[in-house]
Structure 1
Amino acid sequence: MKQGTLKIHHLGHSQSERILWLCEELGVPYELVKYDRDPVTQLSPPALKALHPLGAAPLIEVDGMLLAESAAIVEFILNRYGNERLQYGSAHPDYASYLYWFHFANGNLQPVMGRSMMVGRCGLAPDHPVLTSVQGRLDKVLALVEARLAENDYLAGSEFTAADIMSVFSLTTMRLFHPVDLAPYPNILAYLQRIGNRPAYQRALAKGDPDMTPLLT
């Protein structure tokens, strides 16, 4: 790998799609190394676990440095290669909104989807208090996203930003693992159509997950 070349270790059908998408949006060249999930456990393969103790994906390598955690990687790429694109500076009127929705993805949206998936697999009765509590939280989170997208085309405001790149996985690919009906949320569905029409999003999925049809409906 040439000095300064960005290498992305990508696990299929995972949050690492964010990194490919971000690089495609920014026009950042990268070397792609792809890994498939274990067919039985659906977890990372040994080759990826050998790179990181948690078997985490995504991982990037650049200049001898290895970095995990998708949010940290997104911030690193934005700051190193972004030239102030896809993010708002502190002087921007929507700066606080950008920060909120950027961190909302891994702070609320993805965790509640994950909890809902795990609790749903426990075989609890439909009226079990744990199940109803988790479902109630998921409903609130999706309602909040729906309300935001009723007011704005994108999560941070009128412009597409990295806050959208952080959030879309939970509304699309995550539903391969945990089906969620988005029919009650027309603004989310309209938003996903806008996302699906982005050439960079299409390129990222074609390179990283060519076997997957994105769940945009």
Structure 2
Amino acid sequence: MITVHHLNKSRSQRVLWLLEELEVPYELVKYEREPKTLLAPPELQKIHPLGKSPVITDGDVTVAESGAILEYIVETYGNGRLVPPANTAEFRHYRYFMRYAEGSLMPYLLLTLIFDRVRTAPVPFFVKPIARKIADKVNADFVAPNLTRHLKFLGDHLAKHTWFAGAELTAADIQMSYAVEAIASRLGHMDVSPKIRELAKRMQERPAFKRAVAKGGPSIPE
């Protein structure tokens, strides 16, 4: 049986959602972030040397990284579900968004979070204006322009497709879900397409998604 080593408020929520969609039995082992640093606890290093989540074990197999885990699960337990047929436009979209989520999109969302924390970090009063100026400069010149381009790309794509790969839910949507939720909940100050917000709502309304949240908690930190 698969064991999901689940860190609260993390990308590992995607793994639970996929398992619930496929109705694959699993064991859930929960870990809590360190209160001060918000990092994963050192106990996770016993499962994988990097000490990160998500990570799963399945017998003597250990798999880390969200995309690799989702692909392992659909290939091992999916029986063709949540993956489009090979050599189709839908499969090409599927393969692209399985990699795009972490490779292209998430770095800018993480930088947004990091520089927001830099702006509000508890530092000496004479340092705070400097920290804010640096954070605002990097955001204005680098992060925001790139993120704006990605938001337009996603909105344009979703204007033509119900889900990321096409008309049906696939594992690519589950891989993209963490970023979609983060965009819908955190980027109110930016031009976020209604299509992205509609997709976030549609994801959250799925019974399997709700079951995953009930067991593992929400994925996006407050």
AA of the residue aligned to 2:194? P
**Structure 1 partner of 2:48:** 52
AA of the residue aligned to 2:50? L
Q: 1:184 to 1:8 in 2, by over 3 A?
A: closer
Whether 1:91 aligns to 2:87 is: yes
Whether 1:104 aligns to 2:69 is: no
Whether 1:180 aligns to 2:176 is: no
Identity %: 37
Question: Over the residues paired in the alignment, what is the CA RMSD in angstroms?
Answer: 2.2
Q: Contact 2:31 / 2:41 at 8 angstroms: preserved in 1?
A: yes
Q: Contact 2:148 / 2:191 at 8 angstroms: preserved in 1?
A: no
Whether 1:168 aligns to 2:164 is: no
Match of 1:197 among 199, 205, 222: 205
Whether 1:68 aligns to 2:64 is: yes
**Structure 1 partner of 2:34:** 38
Whether 1:11 aligns to 2:3 is: no
The aligned length equals 207
Q: Contact 1:12 / 1:34 at 8 angstroms: preserved in 2?
A: yes
C-alpha separation in 2, matches of 1:173 and 1:144: 16
C-alpha separation in 2, matches of 1:41 and 1:53: 19
Q: Secondary structure at the match of 2:89?
A: coil
The 5-angstrom pairing of residues 134-173 of structure 1 reads 134-172=143-181
Q: 1:10 to 1:173 in 2, by over 3 A?
A: farther
Q: Secondary structure at the match of 1:128?
A: helix
- The runs of at least 4 aligned residues of structure 1 exceeding 6 Å deviation read none
C-alpha separation in 2, matches of 1:37 and 1:214: 13
C-alpha distance after superposition, 1:136-195 (max 9, x if no partner): 11111111111111111111111111111001111225888xx32266321111111111
Residue 90 of structure 1: CA displacement?
1.7
C-alpha separation in 2, matches of 1:20 and 1:108: 23
Worse-matched range after superposition: 130-139 or 62-71: 130-139
Match of 1:22 among 18, 23, 28: 18
C-alpha separation in 1, matches of 2:150 and 2:73: 28
Highest Rg: 1 or 2?
Answer: 2
Worse-matched range after superposition: 26-35 or 125-134: 125-134
TM-score between both structures, scaled by the size of structure 1: 0.87
> Structure 2 unaligned runs (5+)?
119-130
> Structure 1 unaligned runs (5+)?
none
AA of the residue aligned to 1:196? Q
Whether 1:82 aligns to 2:78 is: yes
AA of the residue aligned to 1:86? L
C-alpha separation in 1, matches of 2:51 and 2:140: 29
C-alpha separation in 1, matches of 2:200 and 2:181: 8
Higher helix share: 2
**Structure 2 partner of 1:207:** 215
Structure with bigger RCO (C-alpha 8 Å, 6+ apart): 2
Residue 124 of structure 1: CA displacement?
4.0
Q: 1:47 to 1:214 in 2, by over 3 A?
A: closer
Q: 1:96 to 1:121 in 2, by over 3 A?
A: same
Whether 1:118 aligns to 2:114 is: yes
Worse-matched range after superposition: 79-88 or 128-137: 128-137
Worse-matched range after superposition: 164-173 or 35-44: 164-173
AA of the residue aligned to 2:95? L
AA of the residue aligned to 2:193? Y
